[in-house]
A = this chain, B = another copy of it.
Amino acid sequence: MAKEKKLVQSITARDEDFAQWYTDVVREAKLCDYSGVKGCLNYLPNGYAIWENIQANLDKRFKETGVQNVYLPVLIPESLLQKEKDHIEGFAPEVAWVTKGGEEPLQERFCIRPTSETLFCDVWSKTVQSYRDLPKVWNQWCSVLRWEKTTRPFLRSREFLWQEGHTIHATYEEAEERTLMMRDVYKDFVENDLAIPLVTGKKTPSEKFAGAEDTYTIEALMHDGKALQSGTSHFFGNAFADAYGISYSDKENKLHSVYETSWGLSTRIIGAIIMVHGDDSGLVLPPHIAPVQTRVVPIAQHKEGVLDKANELLAALKAAGYRAEIDDSEKSPGWKFSEQEMLGIPTRIEIGPKDIENGQVVIVRRDTREKIVVALDEIETRLSEILEDIQKALFEKAKAFRDSHIHTATNMDEMKDIAENQIGFIRAMWCGDDACEEAIKDQTGGVTSRCIPEEQEEISNVCVCCGKPAKHMVYWGKAY
């Protein structure tokens, strides 16, 4: 019994200490833990299975837009990294350097990729010649390494898993279209499959990616009111093409620079799933990406016929295409329920002697704890409806939370007041000056610009900070 209690007690209440709650959920749901390599994570089976489903789902969407997967080396020669000035300035301070290979010191050192624009450019500079070779729409699933000082599971770690897409195009318009297309793919995926509502838009110059002309972002609101940058799509114009010498000849044999984009989404998004949907009982996974959608829990399983019937049900569910499993361990039903809730499995199916007698089961929703009695011969269709209901309910709940945590500020007093007393996004006008962004950050305890949304609204006609004419309405917030 001591062990059973431990599981239920070991989670901090979410609204008592959000950071501790997060750490507790990650640990108790066995998603990941710190490895012996400082700042690097072990992605454990429960956590990695979520990532596998994210991969499968996103990769399918990528391929529908013509993306081809590749794999380029984990190492980047220093000379190659240095060709694009803004890029090296952005990344050099946080890369790990390989200086010895085998028994020999290296003539040139290599860094472990922090991102791979430079490698993709290197391939293309050697192989792209004519308009017939364009576009290239490539992507790789890999890990990258950035020598971060402070780390948190999924949110910030030295090594993390991600996909990085890189594309080159003949025209400015086509590259810009691809940048926006991938932002839309992310938005569609995150909203529909992860049930996380987003605010999207362009990054301000000070927040954009090192070397990019424009960075588009998807921003999600966590339950503690902080924003999480959840995916980005960058438009580079000709900058990399020129630095790395990627050009093509058109039909008239005239030479042009190519236009480039890149876009990435990482295991950080697992942190968003936890912090948007989780509750005091642990993880809550959206059915679309839950590694297990339902867990069958036999009640009074020692009684004759119960385990047989439960396993029969499991087999039927699997055959119908559900990701299903059974907990036929010797633990008590109460312990089993707690564990299923901690793991965030969207539904459990309770089946005991009385249920069998009545030809029914009880489906319990993870999100609302609602108990739904379902006839055994209807379960295959009913379960899919219930899972879809959960998927929608999670999104609606998160959307209502987000919508009720968007505030508006027209001057710095309001801005400071909201930053101090409220949580969530702040909408406010901005003149376009970096200095005002700095000032806002300083005076509000760390509020930064999250994005300039496409749908602009003129809240006022002056900058919230300096009072000069405003150029943009910006979403601001404290961020992870």
Contacts and interface: CB of A to CB of B under 8 A. Distances in A.
Interface of A: 33, 35-37, 40-45, 48-49, 51-52, 68-77, 80, 93-103, 110, 112, 119, 122-123, 127, 138, 142-143, 145, 147, 158-159, 161
A88 to B, nearest CB: 14
Contacts of A41: 73
Given A96-B101, A101-B147, A69 B49 contact: yes
A245 B127 CA distance: 51
A338 to B, nearest CB: 17
Contact of A44 (B49, B70, B158): B70
Contacts of A102: 93-96, 147
Contact of A37 (B75, B93, B161): B75
In the A-B complex, the 10 residue pairs with the smallest Cβ-Cβ separation, listed nearest first, are A102-B147, A45-B68, A40-B73, A43-B71, A97-B100, A101-B147, A96-B101, A99-B99, A37-B73, A37-B75
A90 to B, nearest CB: 13
A45 B138 contact: yes
6 contacts: A35-B123, A40-B75, A43-B71, A45-B69, A75-B145, A97-B98
Interface centre among A70, A76, A80, A158 (most CB of B within 10 A): A70
A77 B37 contact: yes
Contacts of A75: 37, 40, 96, 145, 159
Contacts of A110: 37, 96
A428 to B, nearest CB: 35
B95 A35 contact: no
A425 B403 CA distance: 71
Contacts of A93: 102-103
A158 B93 CA distance: 26
Given A37-B110, A112-B112, A45 B73 contact: no
A478 B67 CA distance: 41
A312 B19 CA distance: 56
A72 B42 contact: yes
A145 B143 CA distance: 14
Contacts of A69: 45, 48-49, 52
A374 to B, nearest CB: 28
A245 to B, nearest CB: 13
Given A75-B40, A93-B103, A100-B97, A122 B35 contact: yes
Interface centre among A43, A51, A52, A102 (most CB of B within 10 A): A102
